[in-house]
Amino acid sequence: MSPMLYALVFLSVLLLVEGLQEAFGSRRNRQVAIARKRLREMAATLTAPETRDEESLLRLEREASLLDRLVQSLPFGEKLELTLYRAGLSVRPERFLLLSLALFAGGWFVGLVLFETLTAALLCSLVFLLPWIQLSRLRRKRRDAFEAQFHDALDLLIRALRAGHSLSTGLQMIGKELPDPVGTEFGQVAHEIQLGQQVRHSLANLSYRVESADLPFFTTAISIQQETGSNLAEVLENLSKVIRERFKLYGKVKALTAMGRASANLLAGWPLVMIGALYAVNEDYIKPLWETDQGQFLGLISFVMVVIGYIICRRMAQIKV
């Protein structure tokens, strides 16, 4: 083969890789845009209790379906909807509950069919907890992402204010330039202000939707500036410095408590490792653990104790900063 042919093959492969990367990248961008649009629609219905009026509540109640109204009537209905939004999930609460019930029924049925005991069915039905565990994990992940991006949003807003832009324009810039969750949340605030809502109410809705320890300082600073007047850029700059220092301290604490978290994970996974090792060495020795009623009872008690020990170890390794 001539060198020219090698060059053509190389260029063809290179262009093919770039084309695939561009296609998948544009597809991912479209998916991200759709997800942010859905979150914006959900955010419009999640307003702080002090900013709600009777007209909007009646309109939302008329537009809600029968199943949605049934879920909202539950004690945890509104909190579940807020938790789903905080996790960045555009799933409706009724669908999430139906998924949990389906997993519970499916796990119970599989446990009865395969093991033919109520204890095994109860253990298998615990699979319905998986969506709730994932929901909690995604909520913490999105909260941490917001707090990690928050000081960057403050810096962008500070530069916009010092350049002569208004507060609403600075919030719009944050919504366009920064990714989710900071971009989505501040873009929603700017959208509410454009629709004529008071800045104080928009910030109250933001604090209601997002659980962040630093956000109340931001909303209080802007509310005071709107009422009394002050150098908002200087106040936000000091707040940004405080947040950055807190993150440095949080990183040090996280490094110091890494051994405790690793110990919790090891203690939680070690029983499964031992059961697998004993099963590989001597099956008859370990089979009574799930073939007899006494073994199943002891297995259930051990599982509960491992979960409690894991939670205690994780709590001991958590230090609020």
* pLDDT higher than 80, residue 162: yes
Averaged pLDDT for residues 264-287 = 88
* pLDDT higher than 70, residue 170: yes
* pLDDT higher than 80, residue 78: no
Query: Residue 15, class by beta-carbon neighbours within 10 Å (0-12 exposed, 13-18 middle, 19+ buried)?
Result: exposed
Q: Average pLDDT over the chain, rounded to whole?
A: 81
Averaged pLDDT for residues 272-288 = 88
What are 110's two structure tokens? 């599989």
* pLDDT higher than 80, residue 72: no
Which pLDDT does position 173 carry in this prediction? 92
Which pLDDT does position 138 carry in this prediction? 92
Averaged pLDDT for residues 83-96 = 86
* pLDDT higher than 60, residue 26: no
What are 319's two structure tokens? 């230090």
* pLDDT higher than 60, residue 28: no
Q: How far apart are CA 278 and CA 263, in angstroms?
A: 22
Task: Give yes or no for a contact between 139 and 86, defined as CB atoms under 8 angstroms apart.
Answer: yes
* pLDDT higher than 70, residue 43: no
pTM confidence score? 0.72
